[in-house]
Structure 1
Amino acid sequence: MSYQTILYEVSDRIATLTLNRPDAMNATTDEMYQELQDLIPRIAADRDVACVILTGAGRGFCAGADLKARKDDATPLERRARHRWILKDILEPLYRLEKPVIAAVNGAAAGAGFNIALACDFIIASEQASFIQAFARVGLVPDLGGLYLLGRVIGINKAKELCFTARKVSAEEAKALGIVNHVVPHDRLLDEARAIASKITAASPTAIAMTKTLLDKSTNATIDQMLEYESYAQTIAYLTPEYEEGVLAFREKRAPDFAAAARR
């Protein structure tokens, strides 16, 4: 399927998904959400994809919702149905994707754009990137998972400050707050993201999938629950061809080919 608002390519088991409305700073529209709704399950099912990089075309990552595309005549029930569609069919599948997703934030990540980046597993930011929970400026409540995700990343008190004041956060401050993992030169952003993605693609896809799922559960689980989850996951891992390949490669003093093993 060809897309109008996103670009998508796969190379060396790394998928690069680019929000592609540069004239509008990649602001989201229903068309973009529909295309993401189609693409995310395809990524999940594609055995040739082991890691995803999500970025934006042009000067910005994502400026949030495109207010020019809003439907002024929509009823409250219609608006709620639309938001539930976006959250359940786009945001949640992105968050739960059992493949690591790296947000490569190349410019402004505002409103929904900020929260889309938070739904990824971690963020690499250009030195030109900025982050803003802009909702209060237009009388709205943070959405796209922001009320769930932001506090878990930086703590509730700091999350309240960013949401209440709607102030812009630089890439360096975002790193200090724990929002961003790495700040890199603007012209090196995708290269650095691909370098990290390459390390991920060299690992066992089954082990990475289980590790991601269990780490996400750990924020709301007890120690007893996590130890039980770990015991089940490790038992499964011992039974995979990837584990056999890892042991054999260790004995033969070579790099393991986990991608090939996963296909056996």
Structure 2
Amino acid sequence: MSTVIMESQNNVSYIYLNRAERYNALNKEMLEELLKVLETVEKNDDKVVILAGYGNAFSAGGDVGMMKDFADKAFFDGVMKTIGKIVLKLYMLPKIVISAVQGSAAGLGLSIALTADYVIAQNESKLGMLFIGIGLAPDGGGHFLLKERLGTNKAKQFTWGLKQVGGQQAKAMGLVDILTDKQVVEEATDMGQKLLTTPLTAILKTKMMYHSKQKETLEYYVEEERKAQWELRHTEDHQEGVQAFLEKRKPVFRGK
């Protein structure tokens, strides 16, 4: 079964994360499938892309079960390279990208959601960066994407605070653009169809002017995040964070 599903309907490409039983936690296979799907979507004629997740979450983030394999540097570098390609591909797509967030968007899942031009979320959704909870720093361009939406100080404090904010607070902060009580993909589809009646060529020109200028900065953050994660995964705090997560208890960090 594919872990990422792509459909094209009425000039809109729908990309669904498809590990509902794991809250769409992103493992190596899923990341590689997502990159392949994005490469396909990049070449099609659809001008709107909707990112969503099947089940009760957009994405719970990176699959913690993958952490044990990160001891292998080649495995780690391969995964981080794939993540970097996904984020840059999404950010630089010459299409309007809409994230449709239901349930949780956490960690890497939130980074991917924030690559979009519009983030639509249900009122009961929960958004959080949460990497610090297992002794890691954000990746998937999370530093850059939070800075773009919140500014540097609020981005730092949001990351450090280990908060998952609800829809109303996320919108007030600027993490979310539109809240809905409707089925979130339905809301995103309505927006997509409205966008298709606008002068999209001009709209996409403005997008690409902004994003082309920022591409090098995003590449810098992606690379620095890769270096930081390799260093941090060898810390005592990271080992404790993962162990506490697996044992469903509160971690005891020592700043080491």
Q: TM-score range by the shorter chain?
A: 0.7 to 0.9
> Equivalents in 2 of 1:5, 1:82: separation in Å?
16
- Aligned residue in 1 for 2:185: 190
Could you give the per-residue CA deviations for residues 95-129 of structure 1, whole angstroms, max 9, x where no partner exists? 11110110010110000011101111120001121
1:123 is aligned, of 119, 123, 146, to: 119
Q: Distance in 2 between matches of 1:98 and 1:78?
A: 31
Q: CA deviation at 1:86?
A: 1.9
From 28, 34, 47, the equivalent of 1:30 is 28
**Cα distance in 2 between the residues matched to 1:175 and 1:41:** 30
Residue 72 of structure 1 aligns to which amino acid in structure 2? Answer: D
Please name the residue that 1:208 is paired with. Answer: 203
- CA RMSD, Structure 1 to Structure 2 (Å): 2.0
Q: Does 1:100 align with 2:72?
A: no
Q: Which structure 2 residues correspond to residues 1-264 of structure 1 after superposition, within 5 A?
A: 4-47=2-45, 49-72=46-69, 74-76=71-73, 78-87=75-84, 89-185=85-181, 187-217=182-212
CA distance in 1, matches of 2:75, 2:189: 40
Aligned-partner Cα distance in 2 for 1:208–1:168? 32
Kept in 2, the 8 Å contact 1:63–1:109? The answer is yes
1: CA distance between counterparts of 2:187 and 2:133? 34
Tell me the TM-score normalised to structure 2 length: 0.79
Q: Deviations over 1:215-236 (max 9, x none)?
A: 3246699xxxxxxxxxxxxxxx
Distance 2:193 2:70 in 1: 47
- Deviations, residues 62-88 of structure 1 (Å, cap 9, x unaligned): 00011123343633464234312320x
Q: What TM-score, normalized to structure 1?
A: 0.76
C-alpha distance in 1 between matches for 2:215 and 2:13 = 30
Higher relative contact order (CA 8 A, sep 6+): 2
Tell me how many residue pairs correspond in the alignment.
216
2:173 alignment partner AA: L
1:174, 1:180 within 8 Å by CA — same for their partners in 2?
A: yes
In structure 2, the residue corresponding to 1:61 is in which secondary structure? strand
**CA distance in 1: counterparts of 2:43 and 2:201, whole angstroms:** 13
Give ranges in structure 2 of 5+ residues lacking alignment: 217-256
**Whole-angstrom distance in 2 between the partners of 1:113 and 1:188:** 19
> Contact 1:127–1:183 at 8 Å: present in 2 too?
yes
Per-residue CA distance 1:227-248 (angstroms, 9 max, x = gap): xxxxxxxxxxxxxxxxxxxxxx
Q: Tell me by how many angstroms 1:42 deviates.
A: 1.2
Q: In percent, how many aligned pairs have the same letter?
A: 33
- AA at the equivalent of 2:131: F
Contact 1:91 1:144 in 2 (8 A): yes
Whether the 8 Å contact between 1:100 and 1:121 is mirrored in structure 2 is yes
Residue 239 of structure 1 aligns with which residue? none
